[in-house]
Amino acid sequence: DVKVTQSSRYLVKRTGEKVFLECVQDMDHENMFWYRQDPGLGLRLIYFSYDVKMKEKGDIPEGYSVSREKKERFSLILESASTNQTSMYLCASEDPVGRRVQYFGPGTRLLVL
């Protein structure tokens, strides 16, 4: 069974803090993604990665960075958290061969005060 886990379900941080969100998948997928979900805006792509040490900007990369040192792990970093980064963050992985379906983790709800 496909499994994508995220390090925290809920996080509360202060403005200016550096925030790390971790995502791990156990399916040996090459492709991994970070999205944020906001009411009325759907899911928006922040960053994605097609391989270890590779990263590509999505639609809203400003204020974020990512790290992919191992195939199974994709980290999202908020360099200096701001209140407008309060959101639900969703990680996904995808097998580039076959149905090309993305499998999502449970999400991390981040509140920046």
Partner 1 sequence: DQQVKQNSPSLSVQEGRISILNCDYTNSMFDYFLWYKKYPAEGPTFLISISSIKDKNEDGRFTVFLNKSAKHLSLHIVPSQPGDSAVYFCAASLIQGAQKLVFGQGTRLTINP
Question: What is the contact surface with partner 1 in residues (CB under 8 A)?
Answer: 4, 9, 31, 33, 35, 40-45, 48, 56, 58, 90, 92, 94, 96, 99-107
Which one, 72 or 103, has the nearer CB to partner 1? Answer: 103
Tokens of 53: 């040490």
Q: Are 112 and 15 in contact (CB under 8 A)?
A: yes
In the complex, minimum distance from the CB of residue 47 to partner 1, in angstroms, rounded to a whole number: 11
Neighbours of 87 (CB within 10 A): 20
In the complex, minimum distance from the CB of residue 79 to partner 1, in angstroms, rounded to a whole number: 23
Helix and strand numbers, DSSP H then E, in the chain: 0, 11
Which one, 38 or 79, has the nearer CB to partner 1? Answer: 38
Half-sphere exposure of 63 (CA within 13 A, CB side): 14
Which one, 41 or 52, has the nearer CB to partner 1? Answer: 41
Q: Are 85 and 76 in contact (CB under 8 A)?
A: no
In the complex, minimum distance from the CB of residue 106 to partner 1, in angstroms, rounded to a whole number: 5
In the complex, minimum distance from the CB of residue 16 to partner 1, in angstroms, rounded to a whole number: 28
